[in-house]
Amino acid sequence: MLFEKKKVKEQRSILEEEQMQSPFRTIIKNLLENKLAMGGLIVFVFIFAMCFILPIWFRQSLNYQDPTQKNIAPGFSFLNVPKELKGNVEIIEFGPTFGVGVDKDGNVYEWGQLSENLKKIPFDMGKVVDIAVGQDHVLALNDKGDLFTWGYNRLQLDRIPVELKGKKIRHIEAGYQVSIAVTEDGKIVSWGNENAVDISAAKVADEDIQEVKINIQTGIALTTDGRVISLAKRETAFDKIPEEIQGKVEKLALTDKAAAVVLKDGTVKVWGNNHQDIFTVPEEVQGHVTDISAGRNHIVVLTDDGDVVAWGGNENKQSKVPGKAKNAAKIVSGYYQNCAINEDGTVTTWGLKGYLLGTDNLGRNVFYRILKGGQMTMTVGFIAVVIQFVIGIFVGGISGYYGGKVDMLLMRLAEVVGSLPFIPLALILSALIGNKVSDVGRIVMIMLILGVLGWTGIAGMVRAQVLAEREKEFVVAAKALGVRERNIIFRHIVPNVMTIIIVQATISFATCMLTESGLSFLGFGVAEPIPSWGNMLNNCRSSEVISQYWWRWVFPSIVLGLCTVSINLFGDGLRKAVDPKANER
């Protein structure tokens, strides 16, 4: 009896058993059940968010170039000081992508991204007491006064000059394909590619030189009596040495475009070119500086109470001194890397650690270029799709509704446009017009080409849908009520087929992205320095890049492939969700 009551209680009406839901909810339900489509949507949203959100915080000028950072492989090893060196360090020097250190026993260590020649440290150096690092080579001095060099070995850079044999060395310095030694009697001897760096030892032939600092362009020298002399053969900004500092200089540093000195009273003076606001010396350090060092575009100083202060360029956080860099005894800077060495030999490093996805042939960050390239490729694809659908819906709607001669005329026009060879025509138009417009105008032209030549398929699809819809009762009712024909087409018929249009738009978006990338790859799309995924791959067509610098083409290819495949997966899933019969095929 109780069972029968319970059974009766569970019985429901037909409306309760067969609950109706809106078509939109049905589409969403079907879409959510399609794992491939939802996976594609998640991947695309992730890539989209990365490309449009991350550049808000991670910025770099599109015109940025750095020859010292070109073709660097992915990794974060620039500041990985070996554990054997920590707590026992005597000297540290930095190259563009690597570091070299000497411990208290005179042993040499290397870290970072090293060329095969840089890894060949001479085994017979003995106890090293001084070391200098250049662009791709190292110069070392042992306790017996012997010089050793390894790394870049062309242009006689690996040959120690005979005039240095038997002479005591006061100071050594290394730069871009150039090495310099200052003898105990204050004379400069340089060797290597002396055309690469503008240096003339003859300018200081009669001077007693204490030390020399060089950058990628030229060098300056400090005499034993505290004067500074420019070594450039031609006049440069470094020649404008303030007269009031002569005879008072204790320490010397050199960035790419400015020189800085510490005077005997602990003040800092900077001259040259005021790049990265390098002339603005923090007021709190004036009168308290004991040591100074510099990278490519920043300066670091050590005060008499052990504080480390930096200013200038900070694109790689080279001027952001960590809080633990306290009570330092020595500071070292090079390129974009820095370290503070304490009295007990412990080391604190900061600055450029490396690059997530490496750099290209101009020293530009590949990760940042992929983000900005994604913005451009997606934007071009999206606007091109909007143009295609505005034209396609208009032509297809008019053609399908009116039929007859109007239909024949518009469809023949669509066939003519559709029969045009798209890629050759786009290349011709780009070649004829592209060089006569600005970079922005070129991008607009690519959008218009993709939009104006790609609407024919959409027009045919809309025409077919309108032909099916125009005979239905709601259209007849609208005509009977006197609704204008354009309103019937675009307010009544087109909204009823909008789901099919959205599906087609999704798939066309991926097609436009691939087409833009193809045009840019061929050199007729978005032009440098504005990045797109296509022109990033255009720079990787040589066999050298494919074999040696794989990261330059692998990562843009992966992102472009993932983005287009994910959009197509979502579009296919959306098509199946809109058309339930598609699941039965």
Structural domain count, the chain: 1
Return the pLDDT at 345. 75
Q: How far apart are CA 63 and CA 81, in angstroms?
A: 32
Return the pLDDT at 201. 82
Coil, strand or helix: which one is 291?
strand
Return the pLDDT at 108. 93
Specify the amino acid at residue 246: Q
Return the pLDDT at 581. 56
Q: Confirm whether 382 is domain-assigned.
A: yes
Q: Confirm whether 78 is domain-assigned.
A: no
**Which domain CATH number covers 577?**
1.10.3720.10
Domain coverage including residue 474? 36-56+364-584
Return the pLDDT at 294. 94
Q: Confirm whether 396 is domain-assigned.
A: yes
Q: Confirm whether 562 is domain-assigned.
A: yes
CA 274 to each of CA 297, 298, 567: distance values in angstroms, whole numbers, following the listed order: 10, 11, 48
Can you say whether residue 177 is alpha, beta or left, with left for phi > 0 and alpha for psi between -120 and 50 degrees? left
Cβ proximity of 267 and 245 under 8 Å: no
Return the pLDDT at 14. 47
Cβ proximity of 93 and 133 under 8 Å: yes
For 231-244, the pLDDT digits (tens) are 888 888 888 999 99
φ and ψ of 527, to 5 deg: -95, 150
For 422-455, the pLDDT digits (tens) are 777 777 776 776 667 777 777 888 888 888 888 8
Strand partners for 270: 260
Return the pLDDT at 579. 65
Q: Confirm whether 510 is domain-assigned.
A: yes
Q: How far apart are CA 125 and CA 140, in angstroms?
A: 8
pLDDT along the chain (585 residues), means of 10: 48 50 70 86 93 87 87 93 86 93 91 92 90 93 91 87 88 90 90 83 86 89 92 87 91 92 94 90 92 94 91 91 85 92 85 93 92 91 89 87 86 85 74 70 81 85 81 73 73 74 82 82 78 87 88 94 91 76 53
Return the pLDDT at 74. 95
CA 62 to each of CA 360, 371, 546: distance values in angstroms, whole numbers, following the listed order: 13, 12, 24
- Of the candidates 329, 333, 351, which has an alpha carbon nearest to the alpha carbon of residue 342? 329
Cβ proximity of 272 and 237 under 8 Å: yes
For 53-92, the pLDDT digits (tens) are 998 888 788 888 888 899 999 999 999 999 888 778 889 9
Q: Confirm whether 29 is domain-assigned.
A: no
Q: Confirm whether 576 is domain-assigned.
A: yes
Return the pLDDT at 286. 92
Q: Confirm whether 6 is domain-assigned.
A: no
Strand partners for 409: none
For 292-339, the pLDDT digits (tens) are 999 999 999 999 888 999 999 998 999 999 988 878 889 999 899 999
